[in-house]
């Protein structure tokens, strides 16, 4: 995965240096210097775990909308979506803890219509006002879904959380997307929302509290 490799490399380099320093001091002075490894190694392990990008088995078939993120479904609601759908939509909200896989994935095959980044607050992503006030990035997708609902417009919203301070999205208008393919990342705890127009009659297959996996869990069938 391209996103985050520099950060991981820097952390591992710093960890290796600290470990070597601690080991050298322990050899020449006292075993108490090994205590330096206590905070360093777990922190490095956590960051490596955070930037992981596990392989996923992407389901095939027309009209399947897969999860754009790993985490827990917090809410499913009918809302008005003015940005892309311009009308009623089903919103599925997913909370990502710091232990979740944080790469985001395309819920369906298609093309990027536009991408819009907005500055904002960094409330806890579980708060009701986080979706409205927090820093966010919107990815508008026009589906070309393997014999399914061509031309369907769906929206993925990446929302930063209290710890997250960076949303990564390298997409540009016109970029092709494959269902389950990488579209970005939100670093250190966040929320991801998926909007599907109610006109598409989506059959939602998850409920609040469901654990989902980006690119492999089917959220809805059209």
User: Annotated catalytic sites, by residue?
Assistant: 190
Rounded CA-CA distance 110/108 in Å is 6
Q: Is 58 helix (H, G, I), strand (E, B) or coil?
A: coil
Lookup result for tokens 């391209």 = 2
First-last CA distance in the chain: 31
Residues in Cβ contact with 158 at an 8 Å cutoff, skipping those fewer than 6 apart? 104, 136, 137, 138, 139, 167, 169, 184, 186, 190, 192
């Amino acid at each position: 995965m391209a996103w985050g490799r520099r950060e991981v490399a820097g952390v591992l380099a710093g960890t290796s240096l600290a470990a070597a320093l601690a080991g050298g001091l322990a050899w020449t002075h006292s075993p108490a210097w090994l205590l330096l490894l206590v905070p360093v190694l777990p922190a490095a392990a956590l960051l490596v775990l955070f930037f992981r990008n596990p392989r996923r088995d992407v389901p095939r078939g027309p009209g399947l909308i897969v999860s754009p993120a790993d985490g827990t479904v917090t809410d499913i609601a009918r809302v008005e979506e003015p940005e892309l759908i311009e009308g009623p939509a089903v919103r599925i909200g997913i909370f990502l803890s710091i232990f979740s896989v944080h790469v985001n994935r395309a819920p369906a095959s298609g093309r990027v219509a536009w991408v819009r980044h907005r500055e904002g607050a960094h409330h806890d992503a579980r708060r009701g006002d986080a979706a409205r006030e927090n820093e966010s990035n919107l990815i508008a997708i026009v589906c070309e879904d393997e014999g399914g609902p061509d031309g369907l417009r769906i929206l993925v919203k990446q929302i930063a959380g209290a710890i997250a301070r960076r949303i990564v999205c390298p997409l540009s208008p016109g970029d092709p997307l494959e269902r389950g393919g990488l579209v970005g990342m939100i670093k250190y705890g966040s929320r991801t929302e998926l909007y599907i127009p109610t006109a598409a009659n989506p059959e939602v297959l998850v409920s609040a509290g469901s654990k989902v996996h980006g690119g492999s869990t089917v959220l809805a069938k059209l």
